[in-house]
């Protein structure tokens, strides 16, 4: 059967993201703090942020950026990221965000695939963004280093151009706002096409459950380049007139100090941070009494761990679920509900429908009269669901059904109250500390090693990281190879989160008659 959200539908305005967030600013709003730089405490008001966005839009337009163009944004969580992101959108262009840890090869690949005309980055990331941009055909004038670097334009140059923000007309349902890259349920990273309407819809849907408002101070350590950070932290906070407190990276001491000093009320995390909050002795050294709720997403959170965090911090623990392909939220435990099992991903957000289907037959599973349903794959339909994958009709057809339902690749159960529980997954993607690690990418890399005849990579459970990549390796006849050499080979060629952490040598990689790796057989050996 098709399940509908228990929430009342929310209104989704027919507007651009800029209009949705900034057009309603009152004089009181303009004076509110919009963004706080966590390490320094420097504040930017909503009025100042809007003026920066407009100036950046004008500066980009003066450099030829407009409707239909793609601009890459490669930066950590700093206030300039927010201004740049919305400046790109206000200029009429589309943002393709890049993870801060992206290698030069990954930067090049994404720039080429998205056909980006420009990249905005920061000087600490220039060693990867610079060579990547050059390899993709972008000259130094099209590599804007926000904090400044010799030979490149800077944020100051964009702000000082004096050019007015352009008059742009867009169709929010058709104009792409963002092209983040995701591995979906399988394979290499693909560009996810998200329109202005997709992102606005998900802000409105999330707002009905999370209920941020102007009194909230939101800690933002999860990357804005990840759809979770982009929508649930940055844009939802701004739309709600909350203060966004940025941290460029996760360091436990700095994380805890910022919560204490900035009196943050809303803390968004991934499960590895939950482990630290539940177990690390350092937590007791800080005053975390300002925290009204902690919301975990990006990977499944165990109910025991959720309760441990809630008990230790004396706060409300929530959990949500989503995918890049859904902008990203489809489920969340509402802020005002204390009766829902914290091991649940919560309730379906407004304006959404879901199906739970048998993984063998594809037939809809019935709703349970009591207890939980049988497990099945979760499918979602709603205004937050992507248009499709960029330049990849085959992958789009595999993921999106003609009737609009999106295959998540996650196996779930639903109880008689509508709460959903993730119990397994069909997708091959490995979630290392909430980072996506596509096995196919590591397998392709391993096969370039002259001593490796065949290889497969699967997720191995890990308490602190959630999952780590484990490689199964077949050595070429007559060759010798040890685990350390395999891990070193991979580590030299990928960012840290994609490193192979475990290696097992095997005589043959199990495969189906069509040649597909039988990962379930390998997981059975773990």
- pLDDT tens-place string over residues 126-167: 999 999 999 999 999 999 999 999 999 999 999 999 999 999
In sequence order, which residues have a C-beta less than 8 Å from that of residue 136 and are 6 or more positions away?
Answer: 107, 108, 111, 112, 116
- Checking if the pLDDT of 262 tops 70, the result is yes
Closest C-alpha among 296, 243, 231 to residue 433: 296
* 3-state SS record for 385-408: CCCEECCCHHHHHHHECCCCCEEE
- For residues 217 and 509, give the distance between their C-alpha atoms in angstroms, rounded to a whole number: 50
Over pLDDT 90: what percentage of the chain? Answer: 79
Beta-bridged to residue 431, according to DSSP, are 436
- Checking if the pLDDT of 511 tops 80, the result is no
Do residues 240 and 216 touch, judged by C-beta distance below 8 A? yes
Closest C-alpha among 139, 221, 225 to residue 182: 225
Strands 33-37 and 94-97: unpaired
CA 9 to chain centre: 25
Do residues 181 and 192 touch, judged by C-beta distance below 8 A? yes
Q: What is the pLDDT of residue 515?
A: 60
* pLDDT top residue among 523 and 356: 356
Q: What is the pLDDT of residue 512?
A: 64
pLDDT for 211-222, tens place per residue?
Answer: 999 999 999 999
- Checking if the pLDDT of 501 tops 60, the result is yes
pLDDT for 22-63, tens place per residue?
Answer: 999 999 999 999 999 999 999 999 999 999 999 999 999 999
Q: How confident is the model at residue 428 (pLDDT cuts 50, 70, 90)?
A: confident
Closest C-alpha among 445, 439, 443 to residue 425: 439
Q: What is the pLDDT of residue 360?
A: 82
- For residues 112 and 108, give the distance between their C-alpha atoms in angstroms, rounded to a whole number: 6
Q: How confident is the model at residue 170 (pLDDT cuts 50, 70, 90)?
A: very high
Q: What is the pLDDT of residue 424?
A: 72
Torsion of CA 352, 235, 324, 201, to 10 degrees: 20
In sequence order, which residues have a C-beta less than 8 Å from that of residue 46 and are 6 or more positions away?
Answer: 22, 25, 29, 30, 31, 32, 33, 34, 238, 241
Q: What is the pLDDT of residue 513?
A: 55
- For residues 494 and 439, give the distance between their C-alpha atoms in angstroms, rounded to a whole number: 13
Q: What is the pLDDT of residue 369?
A: 86
Q: Work out the mean pLDDT of the chain and round it to a whole number.
A: 93
Do residues 203 and 222 touch, judged by C-beta distance below 8 A? no
Task: Identify the structural domains of the chain with CATH numbers, from first to last.
Answer: 44-169 (3.40.50.980), 434-523 (3.30.300.30)
Helices (H), 144-302: 155-159, 196-210, 227, 236-239, 252-262, 271-279
Q: What is the pLDDT of residue 65?
A: 98
Do residues 471 and 485 touch, judged by C-beta distance below 8 A? no
* pLDDT top residue among 501 and 513: 501
Q: What is the pLDDT of residue 163?
A: 93
């Amino acid at each position: 059967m098709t399940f509908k959200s228990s929430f009342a539908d929310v209104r989704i305005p027919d507007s651009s993201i800029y209009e949705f967030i900034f057009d309603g600013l009152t004089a009181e709003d303009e004076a509110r703090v919009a963004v706080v730089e966590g390490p320094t405490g420097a504040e930017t008001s909503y009025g100042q942020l809007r003026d920066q966005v407009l100036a950046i839009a004008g500066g980009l337009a003066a450099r030829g950026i407009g409707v239909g163009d793609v601009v890459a944004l490669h930066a950590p969580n700093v206030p300039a990221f927010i201004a740049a992101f919305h400046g790109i959108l206000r200029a009429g262009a589309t943002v393709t965000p890049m993870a801060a840890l992206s290698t030069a090869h990954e930067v090049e690949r994404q720039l080429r695939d998205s056909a980006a005309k420009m990249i905005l980055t920061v000087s600490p990331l220039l060693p990867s963004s610079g060579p990547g941009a050059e390899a993709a055909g972008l000259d130094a004038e099209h590599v804007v280093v926000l904090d400044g670097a010799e030979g490149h334009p800077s944020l100051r140059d964009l702000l000082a151009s004096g050019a007015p923000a352009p008059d742009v007309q867009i169709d929010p349902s058709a104009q792409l706002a963002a092209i983040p890259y995701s591995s979906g349920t399988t394979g290499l990273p693909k560009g996810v096409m998200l329109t202005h309407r997709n992102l606005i819809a998900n802000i409105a849907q999330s707002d009905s459950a999370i209920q941020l408002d102007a009194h909230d101070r939101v800690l933002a350590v999860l990357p804005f380049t990840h759809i979770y950070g982009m929508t649930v932290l940055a844009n939802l906070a701004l739309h709600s007139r909350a203060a966004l407190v940025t941290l460029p990276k996760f360091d436990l001491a700095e994380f805890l100090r910022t919560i204490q000093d900035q009196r943050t009320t809303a803390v968004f995390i991934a499960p590895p941070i939950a482990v630290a909050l539940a177990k690390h002795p350092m937590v007791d050294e800080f005053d975390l009494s300002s925290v009204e709720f902690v919301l975990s997403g990006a990977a499944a959170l165990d109910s025991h761990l959720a309760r441990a965090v809630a008990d230790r911090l004396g706060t409300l623990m929530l959990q949500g679920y989503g995918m890049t392909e859904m902008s990203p939220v489809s489920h969340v435990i509402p802020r005002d509900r204390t009766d829902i099992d914290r091991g649940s991903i919560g309730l379906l957000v407004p304006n959404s429908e879901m199906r739970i289907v048998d993984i063998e037959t594809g037939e809809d599973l019935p709703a349970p009269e009591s207890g939980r349903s049988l497990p099945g794959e979760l499918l979602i339909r709603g205004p937050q669901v992507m248009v499709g994958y960029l330049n990849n009709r085959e992958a789009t057809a595999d993921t999106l059904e003609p009737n609009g339902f999106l295959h998540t690749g996650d196996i779930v159960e639903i109880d008689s109250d509508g709460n959903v529980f993730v119990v397994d997954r069909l997708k091959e993607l490995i979630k290392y500390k909430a980072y996506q690690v596509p096995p196919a990418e590591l397998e392709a890399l391993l096969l370039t090693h002259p001593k490796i005849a065949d290889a497969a990579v699967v997720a191995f459970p890990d308490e602190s990281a959630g999952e780590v990549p484990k490689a199964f390796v077949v050595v070429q006849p007559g060759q010798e190879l040890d685990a350390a050499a395999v891990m070193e080979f991979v580590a030299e060629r990928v960012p840290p989160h994609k490193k192979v952490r475990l290696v097992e040598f095997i005589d043959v990689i199990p495969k189906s008659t069509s040649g597909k790796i039988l990962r379930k057989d390998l997981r059975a050996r773990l």
